[in-house]
Chain A
Amino acid sequence: MEEQQHPSEKKTPRDAANWAGRVDKLHVSGVSPEALNLNVEGRRVLSPLQGFGQMWQKTYRMRLPRSVATPETVISTWKERYAEFWPKGNRFYAPLTGIRPGEVGVINATQGPMRLSTGVLVLYSDDTSFTFMTPEGHPFAGWITFSAHEEGEDVTVAQAQLLLRPGDPIYELGFKMFGSRTEDKMWQHTVASLGAALGSPGDVETEIVCVDRRRQWSQFGAVKHNAIFRTTLGAPMRGIRRLAGPRR
């Protein structure tokens, strides 16, 4: 007798293990104690639809000979050595368990007098891609997807793609003035470093598309979570606490 398939069985997810579970508020655990862990714990994650500024899609890609790396090799190298590929002044503290769905990484960055402590949730991860989602207070609300795919017979394409809206009016202004260019340089450096680590240094192609020109004024209040302000302005107080703290 032929067994009848229940409609829900037809759609049994083959990717259930690739996605983070439902996360209401972020919790940081298992990152290096040297990380400055601010603006992550207890924060909600945001999709690119939730930010304040214009929505942008930024893609940074590099073509590698297939003989050098398959898509799977690209992504496993990227996951294992993610922090190494960032430019000077930026630190990524991956969870000790690695880049896995549901894990939270901490980011520390410095630019001139400004300090930033924020983080990311690993939203998705499989053999050929992984995606980070940003929390409230991060310079942008959005996702960063790292992926690799085959192109023709001989080429592997490695790419980082950001879908973002600057998180608040101050970030939007900064993004227009210098933040967007800084972001481009950072990801171009990251993708180029990945290529070099795989033994194939080369040019990084950049593609920038404005997906939505409107600003979402309803998100104006997000400025209260601004992680750069909170990190930079809180630095003197943290210094005083460190000096006064554990000594007896």
Chain B
Amino acid sequence: MSATFEAAVRRERGVAIIDLRGEVNALAGPRLEAAYADAMSEAAESLLLNFSEVDYINSTGIALIVGLLAKARATNRPVLACGLSEHYEEIFTITRLSDFMSIFQDEASARSGTTAAPAG
């Protein structure tokens, strides 16, 4: 299992954005948790997960994202996702994550919110 995973947080007009990079697997847990805590440490209306630099997600990684999604929902913050490859968009549908998060093609359409059509 590779340890190549990074998560960086930035904020854009009330949206906390977590840029994910590398492989989302069991080893990504601590960094993902830390990034989430950082993202939620300041007021944010919503959380955007940017997967555009992610090249691999396994089932443990999906479970990590579910945990994060559950926490965000508990604080009534919508969670958006962007930059997923076609393959992982399909996986988000199969695992029914897409029932709980809006998926957009890229960051620009995610940030423009309801005016952009979700990719999935």
Contact = CB atoms under 8 A, between A and B. Distances in A.
A141 to B, nearest CB: 9
Contacts of B100: 49
Interface stretch (A13-21, A73-81, A84-92, A186-194): A13-21
A129 B61 CA distance: 12
A149 B95 contact: no
A160 B73 CA distance: 26
A198 to B, nearest CB: 20
B69 interface: yes
Contacts of A23: 94
A131 B69 contact: no
A247 interface: no
Contacts of A13: 85, 87-88
Interface residues of A, number: 39
A147 B85 contact: no
> Which range holds the interface residue count of chain B?
20 to 34
Contact of A48 (B56, B60, B66, B94): B66
Nearest to B55: A11
Contacts of A147: 26, 60
Contact of A211 (B71, B95, B96, B97): B71
B29 to A, nearest CB: 11
Nearest to A20: B94
Contacts of B93: 22
B114 to A, nearest CB: 22
Across chains A and B, which 3 residue pairs bring their CB atoms closest together, nearest first?
A11-B85, A124-B59, A131-B59
